[in-house]
A and B are shown apart, each in its own frame.
Chain A
């Protein structure tokens, strides 16, 4: 078929005009098919985009390994069971669980070992530190809200101070720092669990009372230790997660 037959015969348009056309027709087609292929972002992602003012960060948040729905549901279930047991037995299960759950979740907000696209993500101009900070904050907040909700559902815990949030933060940061240094979310999560379990057990052996680790007195006693844990972890994280040369020296070792 000749060109004339393919293009609708239009005497108004000359060959000369067609040749002189400076419009990027290929580019326009890409725009058309791009719109057709794209899917509109979920409501959560759109909300995140407007708050963070960056579609990249919003999507990075939505892809956090420990923010996927199944993870959140699992955490919620753990807390719910804890609250139920606590109601039944009057033992402070929720404060005991919270640091462990948060610790593991926060460690898994870190990429390596958990985020399948971690390697490529490290070559992106969007600051890895920014993404990490964002993910960790949101993960921690989510778990804190779940924990607080659960503890509010248990009336017998009313007198337990909310100091248990302190070990929750400390253990979370410890888990994250371990994850960052070891380059593995699993190791970080494991460390968080291990350290917290050790603290709980040590306190039980000491006083032969279940849940001693989260009693008001113990929390006050151990507060300095938790604060130290937090400071050391923060330093390690800040040092290791940036793109400065020092961190990359150590990362070279890994």
Chain B
């Protein structure tokens, strides 16, 4: 399909850049839960930047993020993170020190204060002990929770909890940051602040943001990847997706051009 070839060209150039930066390299990664193929032949090579992950429920976004977070080992294919091999114990430890992960379901200890909670993970990430308090304070300021630093976790609203989750993910200034639905529960103003935070944090890191809010992706991401049924069906710039959406007629739903672009990509992927 035309969509595929245009993007394959983008993917190729991205791959060379990715390897140079030793960000994330996935080769033919697949994973199955029993007979359910959740990931199917994923090839990806990226360097620094913010990468949006879009797709319907069950497309495999969460599984992909879990694989990148070293929570899950895929049943086949190879993964290299930050130039290292997570199958080797010492490499795995080094990767995890430079990793930040926010899962979709985020559990917490109700009686910890916000500060204590983030501090716990800063310690588990083996940050130098002398730098922990300052790093935790900075993370709290970056997500705008200064007023709640000493509040107990149980007193926080859903949006605030999410922001605590983001704070623990960024506390160690990770080189690989993985956020699964980070903007759930955030109001529009907070989402704008979050996008600014992403741009600030991206720098020399590789950031993956999985979301079902297309406009989050458009505003903050360098590149968009769309997944469907465990496969990548689109990789390109947000403007490419918008361009696809501008040409569509009736039959494809969506309020904005980029949403229509998203819809048309999914539609053509399903026709295959």
Contacts and interface: CB of A to CB of B under 8 A. Distances in A.
Contacts of A208: none
Contact of B70 (A123, A126, A244): A123
A34 B109 contact: no
Contacts of A245: 73, 87
A30 B168 contact: no
Interface in B97-131: 97, 99, 101-103, 105-109, 113, 115-116, 119-121, 123-126, 129
Interface residues of B, number: 49
A34 B129 contact: no
A116 B71 contact: no
Interface string A115-140: 11111111111100000000000000
B28 to A, nearest CB: 16
B64 to A, nearest CB: 14
B134 interface: yes
B129 A55 contact: yes
Contacts of B220: none
B167 to A, nearest CB: 12
A252 interface: yes
Interface stretch (A56-64, A74-82, A164-172): A56-64
Contacts of B102: 120
Contacts of A253: 33-34
A68 to B, nearest CB: 9
Interface residues of A, number: 34
B72 interface: yes
B166 interface: no
B164 to A, nearest CB: 11
A96 to B, nearest CB: 34
B162 interface: no
Interface stretch (A14-22, A35-43, A85-93, A225-233): A35-43
B126 A56 contact: yes
Interface in A212-251: 243-245, 248-249, 251
Interface stretch (B17-25, B135-143, B209-217, B241-249): B135-143
A27 B134 contact: yes
A33 interface: yes
B134 A31 contact: yes
Contacts of B146: 33
A38 B116 CA distance: 7
B17 to A, nearest CB: 26
A117 B96 CA distance: 16
A31 B73 contact: no
A27 B133 CA distance: 11
Contact of A126 (B72, B87, B124): B124
A121 to B, nearest CB: 7
B140 A119 contact: no
B72 A37 contact: no
Interface string B59-80: 0000000000111111100000
Contacts of A33: 137, 141, 146, 149
A248 B73 contact: yes
A115 B110 CA distance: 12
Contact of A252 (B73, B89, B123): B73
A33 B150 CA distance: 11
Contacts of A120: 101-103, 106-107, 121, 168
A31 B89 contact: no
Nearest to A54: B123
24 contacts: A27-B134, A31-B134, A33-B149, A35-B133, A37-B136, A37-B149, A37-B150, A38-B115, A38-B133, A39-B115, A55-B123, A55-B129, A56-B120, A115-B107, A120-B102, A120-B121, A123-B101, A124-B96, A126-B124, A248-B73, A249-B75, A251-B73, A252-B31, A253-B34
Given A30-B141, A37-B140, A117-B108, 9 more contacts: A30-B138, A34-B137, A38-B115, A38-B119, A38-B136, A60-B124, A122-B70, A125-B97, A243-B89
Interface of A: 27, 30-31, 33-35, 37-39, 55-56, 59-60, 63, 115-126, 243-245, 248-249, 251-253
Nearest 4 interchain pairs by C-beta: A116-B107, A34-B133, A34-B137, A248-B73
